[in-house]
């Protein structure tokens, strides 16, 4: 059987033909095709189930693609295959994350020596000073905020496409619990207080290295006032007056869908 591999360029998956969204493509292609690229980084990566291994081909972001090759964002793949039985999605997310980290961790942060890569542990190890490094994972919270009228609070971030609203979110800081992150981010970004904080679900988010942790909370007090730096607008919405929402496949959309289905 011909050896196949995942092909990546940053947080995009590469495919050697026109991508057809109606086909549940596995996105693994013959390793022989790696010869078409200029000095790609080819490495083995063990899947988390411990039963299989994957081969990954990481292409420099500066390189032009060969004729016929297409670049598809992993976000798009998550959106198209949300809720499907495509078992390769978790492997794509894992290998995309590590391919980006591997490119950024080539040299030891202590002595500057070129690192070795240990695929069985997804680990960098300095052959000179012995410093070990593992893929960076940045925890970030995302919060479903509801009020006594069972409305949902959604906000428009400056980075969003015009008209799109989603949950308040933000990165966990050193020395801070996740619950404290929830309270701080909401207070900083929209000037309100919440209580009844409960964990919902998590999702790996390799853009480039996040772990999204979903929570729900109840509005307690305060007047909504967007910070103007990240958040341009925020308000409560009822189920029959929702704005444009995040794409399917994201934790934010899953939380909204479950709220609509009255699971929270």
Q: What is the pLDDT of residues 152-187, one digit of tens each?
A: 999 999 999 999 999 999 999 999 999 999 999 999
From CA 68, how far away is CA 55, in angstroms rounded? 22
Q: Which pair of tokens denotes residue 144?
A: 């479903």
pLDDT at residue 23 in the model = 59
How many residues can be counted in the chain? 264
Q: Other C-beta atoms within 10 Å of 121: how many?
A: 11
CB 166 within 8 A of CB 160: yes
Cβ neighbours around 185 below 10 Å, total: 21
Estimate to the nearest angstrom the gap between the alpha carbon of 18 and the chain centroid. Answer: 24
Enumerate residue ranges in the chain where pLDDT < 70. Answer: 1-2, 19, 21-25, 50-51, 84-87
pLDDT of residue 141: 98
Q: pLDDT value at position 87?
A: 66
Beta bridge mates, 140? 171, 212
Please enumerate in sequence order all residues whose Cβ is within 8 A of that of 1, keeping only pairs 6 or more positions apart, or say none. Answer: none
* Pair type for strands 210-221 and 138-146: parallel
- At a CB cut-off of 8 Å and minimum separation 6, what does 63 contact? 9, 37, 38
Please tell me the distance from the alpha carbon of residue 133 to that of residue 130, in angstroms, as a whole number.
Answer: 10
Task: Determine the Cα–Cα distance for residues 185 and 192; give it in Å rounded to an integer.
Answer: 10
| Its pTM surpasses 0.85 | yes
């Amino acid at each position: 059987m011909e050896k196949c591999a995942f092909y990546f360029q940053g947080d995009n998956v590469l495919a050697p033909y026109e991508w057809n969204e109606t086909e549940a493509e596995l996105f693994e292609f013959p390793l022989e095709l790696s010869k078409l690229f200029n000095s790609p980084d080819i490495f083995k990566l063990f899947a988390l189930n411990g039963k299989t291994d994957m081969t990954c081909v990481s292409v420099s972001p500066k390189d032009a693609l060969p004729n016929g090759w297409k670049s598809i964002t992993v976000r798009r793949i998550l959106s198209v295959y949300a809720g499907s039985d495509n078992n390769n999605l978790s492997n794509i997310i894992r290998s995309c994350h590590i391919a980006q980290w591997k490119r950024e961790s080539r040299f030891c942060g202590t002595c500057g020596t070129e690192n070795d890569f240990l695929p069985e542990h997804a680990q960098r190890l300095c052959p000179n000073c012995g410093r070990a490094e593992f893929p960076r994972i940045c925890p970030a919270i995302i919060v479903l905020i509801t009020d006594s009228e069972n409305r949902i609070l959604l906000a428009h971030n400056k980075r969003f496409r015009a008209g799109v609203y989603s949950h308040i979110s933000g990165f966990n800081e050193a020395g801070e619990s996740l619950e404290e992150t929830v309270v701080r981010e909401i207070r900083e970004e929209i000037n309100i207080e919440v209580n009844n904080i409960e964990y919902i679900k998590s999702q790996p988010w390799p853009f480039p290295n996040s772990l999204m942790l979903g929570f729900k909370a109840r509005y307690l007090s305060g007047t909504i006032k967007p910070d103007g730096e990240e958040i341009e607008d925020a308000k409560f919405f009822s189920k029959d007056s929702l704005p444009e929402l995040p794409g399917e496949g994201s934790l934010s959309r899953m939380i909204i869908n479950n709220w609509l289905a009255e699971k929270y």
